[in-house]
Amino acid sequence: MKTVRILFPLIKFIDTKISPDIITVNLPFQNEARGGRLFKSDFHDPKLQQGNTFSFKSPSDILLKFNEIKDLNRKQKTPIIFKPSLNDSMLREYIKNPGNLTANNCQLYRNNLTIYYDGSLTPCDISYSFTNIRELDYKISSAYAHKKFKDFQSHMSKYNKACEGCVFSNQVLKQQNSN
Ligand code: SF4
């Protein structure tokens, strides 16, 4: 709650002293598959499939703060948006139970690869090291033809725990994404 409380003076400061086009509030998540520290070469490794394990200690207090931020948004100059991009009722659902939502067939991994200090290559910022840039003779375009990348791709349209909590995706309730 201490962290949430400092949000208000921070937002006020940004609004009055910096005046950016927009202020974004990212809701927290905890997903080992997206921590950027744990690299696994098997996409089905349990560590990559834990999903979003984050929970708020006191969801009812956070819901009150959420309403206060919405209220602030109506009063101040700089618009405030939340991420993931969800409507208010889904944001409330997320606050109550973050693990109840999952990414809906996100395609952004097609445009984003991450290369790490040791040459490991991962799709998007998912900690799945499917190859190393050295194995590809430094030709990054070969990554998309790699068998492990293609296998990974076949899992992305299905229920996908590695992307749970990602603020860039359209998150949906798990029940809507279970087939
Ligand atoms: S949901 Fe997030 S981590 Fe997953 S592919 Fe989309 S942008 Fe990348």
Count of C-beta atoms within a 10 Å radius of residue 60? 9
Question: What tens-digit pLDDT sequence spans the chain (179 residues)?
Answer: 777 888 999 999 999 999 999 999 999 999 999 877 778 999 999 999 999 999 999 999 999 999 999 999 999 999 999 999 899 999 999 999 999 988 888 899 999 999 999 999 999 989 999 999 999 999 999 999 999 999 999 988 777 899 999 988 878 888 765 54
CA–CA separation, 23 vs 153, rounded Å?
Answer: 33
User: Measuring from atom 2 of ligand 1, which residue has the nearest CA?
Assistant: 166
11 and 74 in contact (C-beta within 8 Å)? no
**Does ligand 1 have an atom closer than 6 angstroms to the CB of 109?**
yes
Residue to mutate, 109, 114, 152, ligand 1, most ligand atoms under 8 Å from C-beta: 109
Quick one: which atom of ligand 1 is closest to the CA of 160?
4
**75 CA distance to ligand 1 centroid (A)?**
33
**166 CA distance to ligand 1 centroid (A)?**
6
Residue labelled with tokens 């937002």:
11
CA–CA separation, 55 vs 65, rounded Å?
Answer: 16
C-alpha 126: how far from its chain's center?
A: 10
Those residues with Cβ within 8 angstroms of residue 104's Cβ, 6 or more apart along the chain or in another chain = 169, 170, 171, 172, 176, 177
Residue labelled with tokens 């927009």:
22
31 and 50 in contact (C-beta within 8 Å)? yes
Residue 179 has what pLDDT? 46
**6 CA distance to ligand 1 centroid (A)?**
29
- Where do the H-state alpha helices sit in the chain? 2-13, 59-75, 88-96, 147-156
Residue 178 has what pLDDT? 53
Q: What are phi and psi of 140, to 5 degrees?
A: -65, -30
Residue 104 has what pLDDT? 80
Mapped onto helix, strand or coil, the DSSP state of residue 120 is strand
**Does ligand 1 have an atom closer than 6 angstroms to the CB of 33?**
no
**115 CA distance to ligand 1 centroid (A)?**
16
- Structure-block tokens of residue 154: 């076949």
In whole angstroms, how far apart are CA 48 and each of 10, 22, 24, 33, 166?
Answer: 34, 33, 27, 4, 14
**Does ligand 1 have an atom closer than 6 angstroms to the CB of 80?**
no
